[in-house]
A and B are shown apart, each in its own frame.
Chain A
Amino acid sequence: MRTNDTNYAIELKGITKTFGKVIANENVSLGIKYGEILALLGENGSGKTTLMNILSGIYYADEGSIYIDGKEAFITNPHEAIKLGIGMIHQHFRLVEVFSAMDNILMGTRGRYSKTGALKEKILEMSKKFGLEIEPDKKVYNMSVSEKQTVEIMKVLYRGARILILDEPTSVLTPQETAKLFAILRRMKDQGNAIIIITHKLHEVLTISDRVAILRKGKVVDTVRTKDTNERQLAELMVGRPVSLEINRPETTNKKTVLNVVDLSVVNQDGTRGLNNVSFKLKSGEILGVAGVAGSGQRELCETIAGLMEAKTGAILYKKENILGKSPDEIINLGISMSFVPEDRLGMGLVGSMDMVDNMLLKSYKKNKGFIIDKKPSRKLAEELVEKLGIITPGVETPVRMLSGGNVQKVLLGREIESEPNVLITAYPVRGLDINSSYVIYDLLNEQKKKNVAILFIGEDLDVLLELSDRILVLCHGEVMGIVDAKNTSKEEIGLMMAGKKMEGVDSDE
């Protein structure tokens, strides 16, 4: 252990980084000691990741200086950062899919390369030391998200990192896996490492960190000791004004089954199982939340209902009529609408290089009579949406990919809602959104629920799922682990189901 108390492991002084006209970090000063866990809290776009990318050599700061162990360091590339003992675990894993765990750990390191023997021993020995579970010969593409993360951590430790940066490490983990990760982090802290964890989940900050630095619009607004703070104060610091953290769950009456999914099985294109005997009923005026680790069959479920994927067996009954085998177009005409927000946000919903007007047209051009397209109704709709949802855009003619994530999602969800669907499927609608925009989206969904729309809400944040949905369906490896009442369940229970524990359902008949 280093004894000098005033000496920081890393000290940032006046860091500024701009991308074109956008200021990502402005005059950021920050310090962290060995044997300490610092949480970096901030909304999306507050500059957390940029700051950490500067530390790990991915970006180079425009201004300011970095001191490591009291000496000024110039981190011009990742190679430099590793030499200085900085290891970053990226949110989107930086792993080579076709390599084994061992090859991923070894790549870029010095020394001889052999596929067996001493190196494997060393890796296994290190994984014991930190409590990591690792199979050196397993290929990354066969791994679960949590296993991949373990490899990422191992990779960084193998390089002898003493300063670890984790970028939103828990966003893809079940609560149990998160607890395991935190145990590992505490162990590393006890061994004298400095750890920075980036997150926007308040309760995690309180569980794991010693100090919290809060970033807002690229600036550090405050640094507080974790034991002197609480969720409310942190949220206020993060957003900049008092916020309510409660999500409404309006009660509706007259629930009827609208969509009845019976024994649905889907096989993916690469031959792997997508869905296996999935059965559930979706009712009008309810939000049915879908929980599960990423890749548990959420995408297959959405795409099968929307008619984009073929089912192997089973049926999807919409008001007693089987919609399997119908084209996406016919399904849309029945009033089943999907707003799917994949990881790259634009993905399947919108065409990024087209403006709002043209994106509105994508859904309505078929109603257009004649040879030449009339853009007027779409323009009117686009303008209405801008006003109603408070979409921030230079104009409806701006390509949607130029808008920020939150605004893109508003455009997408707004268009789907505008077609007055009976069934709305939405996947990750608040992915990457700040607190304010998230609440606008929740309100939009609740408004639809009150209009008796049946909503299938694929989510990733369990806290949100628990507060927003009426019932929660849990998927694991394409199978339904159970459907639970959101009011009478706990995060732990859902976490266990996400990991593969079956529960008695509440998917009762009306």
Chain B
Amino acid sequence: MFVKFLSAAVFAGTPLLFGTTGEIMNEKAGHLNLGVEGMMAMGACAGFMAGFFYDSIIIALLAAFLAGMLGALIYALLTITFMANQNVTGLTLSIFGVGICNFVGEFMLLNSPSNTLKLPEHITAQISNLNIPGLSTVPVFGPLLFQYNIFVYLAALIALICGIYYNHTKTGLNVRAIGENPGAADAAGIKVTKLKYINLLVGGGICGLGGAYCSMIINGGVWMNNPVNGQGWIAVALVIFASWKPYRAIFGSFIFGAFSILKYYFPKTIISLPNAFYDMLPFIITALVLVITSIRKSKENQQPASCGVNYYREER
């Protein structure tokens, strides 16, 4: 029962991990992007539709990534190049992304003969859970480590690479410098605009992958409108929970995933609480983490200092 709970938590946490890693990439470059929900929705729509038409997991992933990137490109253009307010732009992107996702989804539904959209068998098999002979059947470790679909491993891998990128590479150091103090980075010869674009676009693409997970896996291969359903917003909170560290994001996502499924596993015979209570828990935890980090006054575990502020070199 407990093993089942843990592995369900990992499943539920995976889209959050994509979203969180994507948002960390944004914030490390100094951009508070509230458009995660929108970018995930765009990825969800593009991923599902590409899978539906081409019956290929590679094309579906690629489409989801590109769609997330497209959302990020809108945001990046507006905030980096045209210096638009980051909060407003992000919020708008969220509304826009969800809107276009539902629009396309609805349009496709109406034009399908049976009024349902279902992924072809071939692709459903590709994204179903792994079954590695000899490993997946080991008790406890099998279900915990070797019985997930490829998305789960991809999400963890991306987060790991992201952590190495920021902690151990020169480019990562440069990006962190931009997020902390773009003026200092600029004066040190770092190409601020170029690096910001790269990080925001890749981050958006990663969010898009998370969206595809929502539409293709959580909903069991059948299209439902509003597939992301607020996961993007939880991801934004998770960035704070993970204190802007990709490694911590991995655990954070799975913890939040656990909270979101707790209502199905917590024995109602002990305490009967309304489901809404469990839905609320992740946010209470985030608030607590915020308070604790601010009491601890750690200078390191804070949001990048210039996050949310656009950089204009000639500003006096």
Contacts and interface: CB of A to CB of B under 8 A. Distances in A.
B134 interface: no
Interface stretch (B11-19, B98-106, B173-181): B173-181
Contacts, number: 85
A94 B187 contact: yes
Given A19-B316, A59-B314, A271-B297, A78 B187 contact: yes
A58 B313 contact: yes
Contact of A94 (B173, B176, B188, B191): B188
B189 A108 contact: yes
A113 B181 contact: no
Contact of B299 (A56, A59, A141): A141
Interface string B304-316: 0100000001101
B268 interface: no
Please classify how large the interface on chain B is, using the bins under 10, 10 to 19, 20 to 34, 35 or more: 20 to 34
A106 B188 CA distance: 9
A94 B183 contact: yes
A360 interface: no
Interface string A71-86: 0000001110111000
B296 to A, nearest CB: 10
A96 B297 contact: no
A78 B170 contact: no
Interface stretch (A97-105, A366-374, A393-401): A97-105
A103 B173 contact: yes
B187 A96 contact: no
A273 interface: no
A392 interface: no
A107 interface: yes
Given A58-B313, A94-B183, A99-B177, A111 B188 contact: no
Contacts of A97: 180-181, 299, 305
B181 A79 contact: no
A105 to B, nearest CB: 9
Given A96-B180, A98-B300, A58 B314 contact: yes
A109 B171 CA distance: 10
A450 interface: no
B240 to A, nearest CB: 17
Nearest to B300: A98
A96 B179 CA distance: 9
Given A58-B313, A79-B191, A107 B173 contact: yes
Given A58-B313, A58-B314, A108 B174 contact: yes
A19 B170 CA distance: 36
Contact of A107 (B185, B297, B299, B302): B185
Nearest to B184: A94
Contact of B187 (A58, A106, A139): A58
Given A97-B299, A98-B300, A111-B170, A78 B184 contact: no
Interface in A110-149: 110-114, 139, 141
B169 interface: yes
B279 interface: no
A90 B181 contact: no
A88 interface: yes
A113 B168 contact: yes
A78 B188 contact: yes
Contacts of B181: 94-97
A111 B184 CA distance: 19
A78 B302 CA distance: 28
Nearest to B316: A19
A197 to B, nearest CB: 18
Contacts of B183: 94
A159 interface: yes
Given A58-B313, A108-B177, A159 B189 contact: yes
A160 to B, nearest CB: 11
Contacts of A107: 173-174, 177, 185, 188, 190
B186 interface: yes
Nearest to B179: A96
B313 to A, nearest CB: 6
B174 A78 contact: no
Q: Which one of B174, B176, B177 has the greatest number of beta carbons of chain A within 10 Å?
A: B177
A410 interface: no
A418 interface: no
A270 interface: yes
A438 B195 CA distance: 44
Q: Which one of B173, B305, B314 has the greatest number of beta carbons of chain A within 10 Å?
A: B173
A216 interface: no
Q: Which one of B181, B187, B189 has the greatest number of beta carbons of chain A within 10 Å?
A: B187
A155 interface: yes
Interface string B278-305: 0000000000000000000101101001
A146 B57 CA distance: 58
Contacts of B187: 56, 58, 78, 88, 90, 94
B180 A78 contact: no
Interface in A8-26: 19
Given A94-B187, A108-B174, 7 more contacts: A78-B186, A78-B188, A79-B189, A104-B188, A108-B188, A108-B190, A159-B189
15 contacts: A58-B314, A78-B189, A83-B189, A94-B183, A96-B180, A99-B176, A99-B177, A103-B173, A103-B177, A106-B170, A107-B188, A108-B189, A109-B189, A139-B299, A159-B189
Interface of B: 168-170, 173-174, 176-177, 180-181, 183-191, 297, 299-300, 302, 305, 313-314, 316
Interface of A: 19, 56, 58-59, 77-79, 81-83, 88, 90, 93-99, 103-104, 106-114, 139, 141, 155, 159, 270-271
